[in-house]
Amino acid sequence: MQSVKQKKSDIPLPAEPAAIQPGLDHSPPPPTIPRNSFLKSFVFAFQGILYVLRTQRNMRVHFAAGLLVIAAGIVLGVSAPEWAALLAIMALVYALEMLNTVVEAIVDLVTQEYHPLAKVAKDVAAGAVLVAAIFAVAIALIVLLPRFLHLVFSVLGW
């Protein structure tokens, strides 16, 4: 496995230009992403969100669950504080799922070989998503289940 810390001599240098003119800077410009407007930063952020939704099955599952929770909250008439709790935990799950994708991409970029620390990074990131998802289910049950049961019992006439 290649070490993340490389010596300067280990990094290949770019090919020299054919004709070097003295006094001019011939080094290539640093790679940059043009972010010349505030609105463009939102475009890039939405591209990241769409990438995760398009490529990560678990994010699509979380998103679908979130839509169901929102629909149930509307039907069952949850209060403003309950909406705040539901939306906050949903946002946490989505954000952690996105960070999990970032961790996996960075680890895969650094090495394709098995390394115990790469496994730790990926497993801990996935575990963070799992913890948030478990608490999201608990919060959804605390908020929605009593209302749902009340609706069912009133329909049944109990």
Catalytic center residues: 97
Decide if 62 contacts 97 (C-beta within 8 A).
Answer: yes
Scored b (16 or more CB within 10 A) or e, 42-55 reads eeeeeeeeeebeee
- In the block, tokens 């149930």 appear at 72
The CA distance from 115 to 2, in Å, is 11
CB atoms within 10 A of CB 157: 5
Record the tokens describing residue 128, joined without a space.
Answer: 């963070």
Decide if 93 contacts 129 (C-beta within 8 A).
Answer: yes
